[in-house]
Amino acid sequence: MRGLHQMAITVRDALKIGGLVDAKVLAGTAGLDNVIRAVDIIDVPDAAIWFRRDSLLSTTFYALKDNINAQLKMLEDIKSCGGAALIIFSPERYISHIDERLIKKADELNLPLLQMPDCSYIDVIVPVMSRILDKQVKALEYAHEVHSMMTNIVLKGKGLHELLSSLSSLIKKPVMMADSEMILLDAALPPVDSSSNPLLEQWRKSGSPLPLENYYPRVMLKEMINRNKPTYYRYGSAEIDYLDFFFPVSAGETLYGLLVVPNLDGELEKDKTVAMEAGAMAIALDILKERAIREAERKSKLDFYNELLLGNIKNREAIISQAGQYGLDTSGSYFVILAEVNREFLHNIKIRNSEQQGNKEPGKKLFRLLEYAMESKNADGVVIDTLGSLVILARVPDKLKHGEATGYGQNLMLSIRDIIQPHLDSIPVCMATGGYCEKIERISAGYMEAWETIDIGKKLFRTDFAISYEEMIPYHLAKRFLTTTGRPELFEKVYKPLLRYDREKGGELAHTLEVYIECNFSRTKTAKILHIHRNSLNYRLQKIEELLNQDIDSLDPFPFLLASISRRLSS
């Protein structure tokens, strides 16, 4: 693969071309590396309106021969518009000499001021423009070669790592790839490389998926995602400074991820950004191709897991015959862990995303975080998005004895919650685990236990929680008992005097008693939760005693607690 030079040349380069080899540099040597993309002639008094950025300007100063102030103003105008340099042709013929003030001003502006002997403009324009056009042709040829190479890698069935490796070889820098959830998936390094940054160092150590927000500010990442444009980011400290380059992998308005080039000395050269663009496009193409393949595999996989979880595969032999191809080891024991984003939050975020035309889905982010958490804990198992929940089938390590194995599911669930919570942006997540599935055929029972547990949790706790089937067994028993005829009436019967008073007087006695019992008869805690004064609470409790005709502090709490649980479980 041929290297690409800039699609333009510098003033220093131009001094080696055509008639400019005879040019004399009078001033502004600090600007000799200014880029030239065009050559213009200016021989009129109001030439500033025609100035272009990166233009090599030629003049005889004949129109301004007696006006040194206008000559100085022209230098300032060239500098302000980003011009590359000024050539004065044949000064002896048209202006007799070049004023020292002009030379001094050019040095102040770091604008190269060149003097040409008596010759034609064409001796400069044709050679310089020919060299620029030649550069542009080579740049286009190089871009075409890079795009063809990257596309061929995809068409030959190579994957993400091969694309990253080829891209890394082209730019001679490490290249890392994060998905749309900003989780690092893969990285490729050139054969000899000393580049480093905190993210790359951790990748070298672990090689496992890593959230970018552990290494870059979350606000910066969000802004970068919204802009969907290549971005340089500088960070570090007085002792060490990093410059990282982020290039979006996208198709249309859809962002598939980010390419990250760490610890640069400066901005990438043009040929390397061309390679980055080709690589990003090829990776987007590869992702689309892989998604089409995975979608067919996903449907077949989901069909199997749906049947397994719902108990429609009736015997062990039938499970074993299908499970292996979908990553499930049938020789071990399992726990089923469910995770869901709070439904009300999901509804609100969809409305907000619709208004902002965003494409972030909390459910997808949670799925990736669960996979990341499982890998971080070195936990064996699979994560599935099915039946309205994210389901983790977590295999119990063989080394655990039976007593230790029974608590594995709850401990793993709590560890997963601790890992994912810092990355959830306050998204409320409900989690529950079923009972111990010692054999693979019990997974459907474990799923139903987890589902019933998460359902109870939503009614009792409302927001985010992580609970196990074992710790909620009393509530499961209460729910089964309360499914008999008369469940809806239990609360009405037990709290009847208080409810009648509340309806007639607009009071809150029933709710006050519920909270008072839940607070273990603590008046201070109850007043705090209800946000009322202690005297107001005392008045309510006195009224409750009158209506129930019994001492409030010697009240048997059981029927009232059971009635409250009945109401909440049936809501």
Q: Domain limits of the chain?
A: 9-132, 157-290, 310-481, 484-569
**101 and 72 Cβ atoms separated by less than 8 Å:** yes
The reported pLDDT for the residue numbered 129 is 84
- What is the CATH code for 484-569? 1.10.10.2840
Give alpha helix (H) positions in 339-442: 343-356, 362-376, 402-405, 408-420
What does 317-339 look like in DSSP terms, one character per residue? HHHHHHHGGGT--TTS-EEEEEE
The reported pLDDT for the residue numbered 483 is 63
pLDDT confidence of 353, banded at 50, 70, 90? low
pLDDT digits (tens, 9 = 90+) for 302-342: 888 899 999 898 788 888 888 877 878 888 899 999 999 87
Q: Using CA atoms, how far apart are residues 335 and 535, in angstroms rounded to an integer?
A: 50
**Is the CATH number of domain 9-132 1.10.10.10?**
no
Q: Using CA atoms, how far apart are residues 494 and 121, in angstroms rounded to an integer?
A: 104
The reported pLDDT for the residue numbered 355 is 44
Q: Is the pLDDT confidence value at 69 over 70? A: yes
C-alpha to C-alpha distances, 109 to 10, 40, 480, nearest whole angstrom: 17, 20, 86
Look up residue 83 and give its two tokens: 């011009």
Q: Using CA atoms, how far apart are residues 140 and 5, in angstroms rounded to an integer?
A: 11
Average pLDDT over residues 446-470: 89
- Level-2 CATH architecture, domain 157-290: 2-Layer Sandwich (3.30)
**278 and 146 Cβ atoms separated by less than 8 Å:** yes
Q: Is the pLDDT confidence value at 252 over 70? A: yes
Look up residue 55 and give its two tokens: 């233009």
Highest mean pLDDT among 41-50, 103-112, 233-242, 293-302: 103-112
C-alpha to C-alpha distances, 34 to 11, 90, 301, nearest whole angstrom: 6, 23, 59
Burial 119-146 (b: 16+ CB within 10 A, else e): eebebbbebbbebbeebeebbeebbeeb
C-alpha to C-alpha distances, 133 to 87, 315, 453, nearest whole angstrom: 21, 73, 71
C-alpha to C-alpha distances, 383 to 67, 296, 455, nearest whole angstrom: 79, 17, 20
pLDDT confidence of 406, banded at 50, 70, 90? confident
- What is the CATH code for 310-481? 3.30.70.270
Q: Is the pLDDT confidence value at 6 over 60? A: no
pLDDT digits (tens, 9 = 90+) for 101-119: 999 999 999 999 999 887 7
Average pLDDT over residues 255-280: 86
pLDDT confidence of 354, banded at 50, 70, 90? very low
Nearest Cα to 191, choosing from 173, 167, 206, 164?
173
pLDDT confidence of 208, banded at 50, 70, 90? confident
Q: Is the pLDDT confidence value at 27 over 90? A: yes
What does the mean pLDDT of the chain come to? 84
